[in-house]
Amino acid sequence: MTGSQIAVLAILTASLVLFIWGRWRYDLVAIAALLMVFFTRLVETDQLFSGFAHPAVITVAAVLIISRGLLNAGVIDTLSRQMVKVGDRPMAQIAVLTSIVILSSGFMNNVGALALLMPVAIWLSRRSGRSPSLLLMPLAFGSLLGGLITLIGTPPNIIIALFRVETGRPAFGMFDFTPVGACLALAGLIFITLIGWRLTPRRKTGEPSEELFKIDDYLCEVAVPEASKMEGKALYYLNSVMGEGKHIAIVALVRDGRHIPAPSWYEVLQAGDILVILADSEELQILVDEVGLALAQDKIVDKEMIVSEDIQIIEAIIASGSPMVGRTATSLRIRRNYGVNLLAVARQGHQLKQRVSQVQFTAGDILLLQGDKDSLHSALESLKCLPLAERGFRIPKPRQVLMALTIFGSAMIAAALDTMPVQIAFSTAALIMVLVGLISIKDIYESIDWPVIVLLGAMFPLGHALESTGGAQLIADKMLLLSGSFSQPIILGVLIVGVMLLSNVVNNAAAAVLMAPIAINLAENMNVSADPLLMGVAIGSSCAFLTPVGHQSNALVMAPGGYRFGDYWRLGLSLSVVVVMIAVPLILFFWPL
């Protein structure tokens, strides 16, 4: 090996180790690898950041923005509204949920489709009295299978499509992935529905929907006596005198027989007022002994009194990437900053008994929130929580749905007919969605998964260095030794399995960037078409079923489903075997060697 080959393979190996270790975020590792290929003179200065202008990076960003536009328009809600007709049979629920997420993921960001359907799955589980663990893993794996169907279904497809140009042929088109991808998605759906869901772990069944949150035991009333030092003070003063780590939620105010749910923090207290609060015994004692309030003589607590025409109580699930993760209600100052009351927290199907203000939130926690409609909507958006309610789903506006589908469909047709390059077609569609009001300027930047964009921009120069130094050729030569003992279909299968294993420990986009040059060199050495090997890399990159770290979809359902790291391989391994066994003959049929 030459010195440059040793250097690039060392950088690649170190990057993979750091990806697997997970101590640092993958985008930081990718930037460090990018700088190392510069310091070792493997990439010229003017090419160092060229990856950020790569068409694949632009296309991925545009697709993420378009996905947000489809979500905002209510396209997924239109499909999800049919879920109320499914019934309580687990096989029927899994079949319908997985079908919807597969269909959605074929044409939009698969994590976005999963995030919108996950609350539906949790709601169905609780309504049926079953643990969400039964539905969430099939739903996550379905989102990965759906990404195989089209060019824009998943970033690896976009990457592989453009790598095909290096073989002297045009990039793969919008539906070139469909014959193989759709068959695999259908086979995966049938397997998951008939057999696979039985391999998911059975976590302890959560409470039925109406019994998940029991806040009656924590609701109490305190009165403002005559000549109290609290008379004439605003409500927010109460929490300011409670002390460090103490927090109460004022869920209603009773004044002259009139109930005021979720009163404003700036409401001034009067003698004779009765406050309905959510507090534990210690906090209640502080209110009586130190603040000067008195326990109410007559119990008036009624759940109906803490809601009104304007004030609602809703449940919401904390999504992956929420600013709440790892923090507490006290540190977030939920009431002051967002204007809503946090009444209770449930985790893995059970209400937490510890003090609400001190719960350290994790992704998948279910919150019980009280507030007016506008405050709740704003809080959910800012805190990146997904509403979970039995009221069903928001009613989509047909005009917006039609507009979003027309814009999106036009972009797909333009790309499929080669009227314009795919990155331009989808960038144009994203811009039009902004101009017609389907996406706000704020949504543009929030919808883009920036760590993935940074990862792609940094990894393309590393992949180029692997190719230009002969490192990819060296690895392909080693793999070529298999051809003397095994047939070409077996080599294709080994390549798919190898990429699958890699994508289970590193980001799937990184796996595609690194393995595509190797696949091209392997095809040249075997004197066969590169198309089937590139298709194999695309499939292997997107089928990370064995670990929760293999894909964001897997990680997103881990906490809500109560899964452990080792739970994924039971369904994941059997599904991987099904994919490989079906993918090899399908690829060779549609894309002969």
Tell me which residue of 211, 218, 209 sits closest to 354, measured CA to CA: 218
> Of all helices (H) and strands (E), which one includes residue 30?
helix 26-39
Q: How far from the centroid of its chain's Cα atoms is residue 415's Cα?
A: 27
Tens of pLDDT, residue by residue over 247-270, are: 678 888 888 878 888 888 788 888
- What is the reported pLDDT for 392? 42
Instruction: State the Cα–Cα distance between residues 372 and 97, nearest whole angstrom.
Output: 31
Q: What are 583-587's contacts with CB under 8 Å, separation 24+? A: 583/180, 583/184, 583/496, 583/536, 583/539, 584/489, 584/492, 584/493, 584/496, 585/489, 586/179, 586/180, 586/183, 586/184, 587/180, 587/492, 587/532, 587/535, 587/536, 587/539
Place of tokens 């998951």: 192
- What is the reported pLDDT for 209? 45
Tell me which residue of 382, 384, 245 sits closest to 322, measured CA to CA: 384
- What is the reported pLDDT for 468? 82
Tally Cβ neighbours within 10 Å of residue 182: 19
Q: How many CA atoms lie within 13 A of 456 on its CB side?
A: 23
- What is the reported pLDDT for 234? 84
Tens of pLDDT, residue by residue over 274-311, are: 888 877 777 777 778 777 788 876 665 555 667 777 78
SS3 assignment, position 433:
helix
Helices marked H in 436-557 — which ranges? 441-447, 450-468, 471-480, 488-503, 508-526, 531-542, 552-556
Instruction: State the Cα–Cα distance between residues 1 and 183, nearest whole angstrom.
Output: 42
Tally Cβ neighbours within 10 Å of residue 226: 8
Beta strands in 219-353 (DSSP E): 219-223, 249-255, 258-261, 274-278, 294-295, 311-318, 341-347, 350-351
- What is the reported pLDDT for 429? 93
pLDDT (tens place) for every residue of the chain, 593 residues total: 688 888 888 988 888 888 777 778 878 888 999 999 889 888 888 888 888 988 888 988 888 898 888 878 877 666 666 665 677 788 988 999 999 999 989 988 787 788 778 878 887 887 777 888 889 999 999 999 999 999 988 899 999 998 999 888 999 999 999 999 999 999 999 999 999 989 988 766 544 444 567 777 667 788 888 877 788 888 877 767 666 656 678 888 888 878 888 888 788 888 888 888 877 777 777 778 777 788 876 665 555 667 777 788 888 888 767 889 889 888 888 888 888 888 888 876 678 877 787 888 987 788 889 888 888 888 888 888 887 754 444 555 678 888 988 998 999 899 888 888 888 999 999 999 999 998 888 888 878 878 888 888 888 888 888 878 887 777 777 776 666 667 888 889 999 999 998 888 788 888 898 899 989 988 888 889 999 999 999 999 999 999 887 788 887 787 778 788 788 888 999 999 999 999 999 999 999 98
- What is the reported pLDDT for 456? 82
The residue extents of the domains of the chain are: 3-48+75-205+449-590, 65-70+396-448, 213-394
> Of all helices (H) and strands (E), which one includes residue 551?
none
For 221, 225, 294, the CA distances from 298, given in Å and listed in that order, are: 9, 14, 12
- What is the reported pLDDT for 484? 61
| Beta-sheet pairing, 385-388 with 294-295 | unpaired
- What is the reported pLDDT for 406? 93
Tell me which residue of 551, 501, 557 sits closest to 138, measured CA to CA: 557
What is the pTM assigned to this prediction? 0.77
Place of tokens 């869901």: 197
SS3 assignment, position 320:
coil
Place of tokens 């507030």: 371
| Region 213-394: CATH code | 3.30.70.1450
| Dihedral angle over CA of 346, 352, 358, 364, nearest 10 | -30
CB 348 within 8 A of CB 287: no
Please calculate the CA angle 384-118-541 and round it to the nearest 5 degrees: 95
